[in-house]
Structure 1
């Protein structure tokens, strides 16, 4: 868009909207994204101790074993061995680099939970056009509606040089995850003894915010479209959910519809937000737990605590391999540590405290955002008594075919119930996530289309 058009669009938006929270940085600051910082705003240099290396562009080429879209990802680091393993017995030696949630996992499962620590590989990468848009966003993006919406951001991280907690969490919400994806995957609620049953869904997501054939003026307040059809078990098969995710959910709440196969009816689902329980999660995941955090941030006060070095799940190719079965992975209390990989990375720590007069089951949430992607890698969740209640972790890897660095599994632990929920399992499927299809557009993600496809 030409500069004069930007000015006109900005004047119009500001005249119609509530006062914005200014956030754009100076050209001098934005130029740091070309040298001192990575294009998405992380420190380009390694750390002083040398166990976090410099960022050198990330992992952008598939290994030779990878040949087609939707293929399960060969591990480019299969030869790596753990440098050491953290256990309940030696946890204090490494506690400086652990989250409170990880420490609680060791205390809850002292005999079985462990964290194998590997060489840190800064594989995070995105396409050049995402980097270009991120630079432009740094100069123009603003928070609106008391921080509950975005102005002038499109196709990249809105606030690569984040100045507060709200900007950081918006970076997570809008981070690069491809343009259009399809995936058949399962989620499971794991009982105390390790028993579980699968709920399998076919998912389709179009990230309207990252459509290259669009502009800011075309977004129509839509971040992405989400469509999910339940395939198993038989008692749930045929049900479906359609979501229009809005950029400003206070001004225009998320729109959601459900399809009931038995009744062959599409109905609005107005309460699919905040702490609404997710049925397939058996009480272990709420609506805004999905993707570690999603939706409107208006019920919390957000604080950017700072940056620290933490061992977080990273490059988890073994965990997502089609050579690994669900029974291999799922164990009582937590995932099988032998298939997990942790690395030391710098993270932004963001705290969310429930506003006075607001309602939510979580009174405090602490998020650890990977500095290279702005994705939440871990979350500590506290109850109304101030006690640590739940611990969520995103098991990250780089999908080198795009490239995009995202989660392969999300895991939600309830420390009191000693149960957990896993989302994203596709090891036993013929294909994994596929980013190669052309986005079908908004006409594909409508209630009438949901009804038509549900009747097949």
Structure 2
């Protein structure tokens, strides 16, 4: 090989090495210096501990971890902020002056529906989790790594927040999907698409969840196990879904089975994901709209657009009240806004753009994630023409008895159908239970048959 050829070869190898190093750097976990910041200027899960300069967002001081005196789960979570009144209210008439702290979807809802408004209350940074969650995030965060260009996470065993200091949009998405949800729990909830006249028929289900990170001996490459059992109405009662969700989807996809009550058979359902219409939604949400977003990450390019201050639905104890009936919540065009509490918080903004050659009903999605909990709190979702199609609001609350921040129901507004679907409401259902001792056998296909009886 002559000298110019050897030089060209050397330059090419150096260029490839540089690209590989850049890729490794982009998908690496925290540095030791970043890990040292957790619990100091950053919260134990990576949020900014300090408040904002305007004083409208306070500092995080540990969150809300104690239940008030007389707390009874059967009666619901008492509202520690019940005496507070809205600081101000935003409607279509004055929303322009608050545009910098609103999402496009929130403003579009106000334009279209006069009944939709945003009541803004004082901000309380209540999000808090067990010390074991904090310890695992710090201990394992430096080993966390994305695999397959973002389709999985490796290097972890116990943490539920792999990237406390995210460098890429998909890392924020994995923080959301893996975040602590109370370990093992059962949630009894209702979902109902609302007709244009305000009428609805609830579909009720029991949702059994076990996070692999809190199990003693989970199977390899597992993030979460779940069983979804429909309990009503009678025409659909007995339908069941079983999910084994991998932590590294580069190695294997979601494993999904369904129990068909009519055939009395358990069947594999590999296509039950992504933009398949969600069960009980009347086609108003997709399967991966679950919990804001939960599904494979391979269909989108994920851009971390940064962090901003935004008015989001937070500390919704009133909306979660067992004294409320579903009929109290529902208006023909939107959820009753006087039951929803909004506060100013910092959020991570992630833009998801459909990859060339991939298929999904949503061509673009803009996600907003609460910095304190990693919960997805709002999503604006666009069709193939680039038009805003669905607005997804997730109503968050701190479960101080666990402790954990979680959603207490969410709503998907379909602007084209001019209808909406309410998901995950628990007001008229049995209370959530945490710390269950279900073993892996509970999340087997054999047990799916038993649960059907």
TM-score by length of 2: 0.92
**2: CA distance between counterparts of 1:20 and 1:198?**
48
What is the CA-CA distance between 1:345 and the residue it aligns to?
Answer: 0.2
Among 441, 446, 449, the residue aligned to 1:448: 446
Among 144, 168, 190, the residue aligned to 1:141: 144
Structure of greater Rg: 2
Q: Deviations over 1:79-124 (max 9, x none)?
A: 1111111111111111110001101111111x21001000000000
Contact 2:303 2:350 in 1 (8 A): yes
Partner of 1:26: 31
Give the 3-state SS of the residue equivalent to 1:328 in structure 2: helix
**2: CA distance between counterparts of 1:198 and 1:318?**
20
Unaligned runs of 5+ in 2: 1-22
Partner of 2:375: 375
Contact 1:248 1:296 in 2 (8 A): no
RMSD: 1.5
Deviation larger for 381-390 or 249-258 = 249-258
Contact 1:137 1:156 in 2 (8 A): no
Partner of 2:189: 185
Give the 3-state SS of the residue equivalent to 1:395 in structure 2: strand
Q: Does 1:160 align with 2:178?
A: no
Contact 2:30 2:164 in 1 (8 A): no
What is the CA-CA distance between 1:255 and the residue it aligns to?
Answer: 1.0
Q: Does 1:50 align with 2:55?
A: yes
What is the CA-CA distance between 1:325 and the residue it aligns to?
Answer: 0.9
Contact 2:242 2:258 in 1 (8 A): yes
Contact 1:20 1:146 in 2 (8 A): no
Partner of 2:208: 204
Give the 3-state SS of the residue equivalent to 2:280 in structure 1: helix
Among 106, 114, 119, the residue aligned to 1:116: 119
Q: Deviations over 1:291-338 (max 9, x none)?
A: 111111111111100000000000001001011110100111110001
Q: Does 1:316 align with 2:321?
A: no
**2: CA distance between counterparts of 1:331 and 1:230?**
25
What is the CA-CA distance between 1:219 and the residue it aligns to?
Answer: 4.8
Contact 1:137 1:157 in 2 (8 A): no
Deviation larger for 343-352 or 74-83 = 74-83
Contact 2:241 2:259 in 1 (8 A): yes
Unaligned runs of 5+ in 1: 1-17
Instruction: Kindly tell me the number of residue pairs found equivalent between the two proteins.
Output: 430
**2: CA distance between counterparts of 1:383 and 1:397?**
30
